[in-house]
């Protein structure tokens, strides 16, 4: 049976050996078996309990309660929180902190696991707007102010995409006209919002095609001509990218055009500005009479 030293386990979990010793002494989360005169060795079961401890504390549970659960005790009753909206806000705050802690440790498996569980339980729109967007906005501000944290941003994005694949529905087959064609503006590389939109539409049994990042204007026009979608959704987070998008050409060909992202300082006449994921989903469904 494979076993690991405390140092190896600490590196595996992204925590310090001091934390391991503290959890052993304070909560009994040490190795199940010890041999006289030898360093402690952790088994797979020991490591599994420690990972469970990390998951629970990342979700906002107190360390003492998390340790009890990791050791097999029933979870403590959740504290009651006022009315409906207040309870949702508290819940979202805990989950946001949990995701943020996992991101700070670059714990991609835990980030993906937390996001997938949220998508399944709360749905794509609520998870995105209540938990993930506040985290990503705060992270973006930190990167901009300090010039650090890009690696966290990249890994968080990859983890969210992995969670969407795990928790999302299989692609919806269009019967008749394709409801939505999604694309980033030329040179726009941030395609995550469109991936989330595609997943949110799939939850509502609405088919879409996502062309992804950096879609040249000619390629987008060709795709729109071929697919004749009920709506074209364009994403741009910076104005130069938005200005390069072929919105006028799409409108002149009779396509309904929706635009999203901070890059749309001026919305071309005839296009519709989407301010949120919920609004984008609702508008696509309305345009296609879902």
Q: Are strands 4-5 and 272-274 parallel, antiparallel or unpaired?
A: unpaired
Look at residue 134 and give its three-state secondary structure. helix
pLDDT for 77:
53
Instruction: Give pLDDT < 70 ranges for the chain.
Output: 1, 14, 33-39, 57-62, 74-94, 290
DSSP state of 237: S
- Which two structure tokens, joined as six digits, stand for 114? 């937390």
pLDDT for 36:
54
Would you put residue 9 in left (φ > 0), alpha (ψ -120 to 50) or beta? alpha
Q: Hey, which bits of the chain come out as E strands?
A: 4-5, 41-42, 180-184, 208-210, 232-235, 257-260, 272-274
Nearest to 180 by CA among 91, 267, 274: 274
The Cα 265–Cα 167 span in angstroms is: 34
pLDDT for 143:
78
DSSP state of 207: -
Q: Are 154 and 190 in contact (CB under 8 A)?
A: no
Q: Cα dist. 34→5, 22, 25, 41, 46 in Å? A: 12, 17, 14, 7, 12
The residue written with tokens 């937390």 in the block is: 114
pLDDT for 186:
96
Strand-by-strand arrangement of the 232-235 sheet: 208-210, 180-184, 232-235, 257-260, 272-274
| Sequence-ordered alpha helix ranges (H) in 123-273 | 124-127, 133-146, 150-167, 192-203, 217-227, 239-243, 247-252
The Cα 154–Cα 15 span in angstroms is: 21
Beta bridge pairs of residue 183: 234
Q: What does residue 151 show for φ and ψ, rounded to 5 degrees?
A: -65, -35
The Cα 50–Cα 54 span in angstroms is: 6
The residue written with tokens 């050996």 in the block is: 17
State the sign of the Cα–Cα–Cα–Cα dihedral 82, 88, 89, 91. Answer: positive
The Cα 123–Cα 167 span in angstroms is: 9
The tens digit of pLDDT for each residue in 279-289 reads 999 999 999 88
């Amino acid at each position: 049976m494979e076993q690991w030293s405390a140092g190896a386990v600490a590196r595996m979990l992204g925590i310090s050996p001091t934390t391991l010793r503290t959890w052993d002494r304070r909560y009994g989360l040490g190795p199940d078996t010890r041999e006289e005169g030898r360093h402690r060795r952790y088994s797979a079961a020991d490591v599994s309990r420690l990972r469970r401890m990390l998951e629970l504390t990342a979700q906002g549970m107190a360390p003492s309660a998390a340790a009890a659960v990791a050791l097999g005790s029933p979870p403590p009753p959740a504290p009651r929180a006022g009315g409906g909206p207040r309870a949702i806000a508290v819940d979202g705050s805990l989950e946001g902190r949990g995701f943020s802690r996992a991101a700070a440790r670059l714990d991609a498996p835990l980030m993906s696991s937390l996001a997938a569980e949220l998508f399944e339980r709360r749905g794509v729109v609520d998870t995105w707007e209540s938990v993930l967007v506040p985290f990503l906005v705060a992270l973006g501000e930190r990167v901009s102010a300090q010039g650090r944290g890009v690696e966290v941003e990249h890994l968080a994005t990859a983890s969210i995409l992995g969670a969407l694949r795990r928790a999302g529905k299989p692609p919806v087959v269009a019967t008749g006209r394709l409801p939505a064609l999604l694309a980033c503006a030329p040179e726009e590389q941030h395609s995550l919002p469109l991936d989330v939109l595609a997943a949110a539409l799939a939850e509502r049994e609405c088919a879409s095609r996502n062309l992804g990042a950096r879609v040249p204007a000619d390629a987008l026009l060709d795709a729109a001509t071929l697919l004749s979608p009920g709506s074209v959704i364009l994403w741009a987070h910076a104005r130069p990218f938005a200005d390069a998008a072929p919105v006028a050409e799409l409108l002149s060909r009779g396509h309904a055009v929706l635009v999203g992202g901070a890059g749309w300082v001026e919305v071309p006449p005839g296009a519709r500005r989407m301010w949120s994921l919920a609004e984008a989903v609702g508008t696509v469904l309305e345009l296609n009479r879902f």
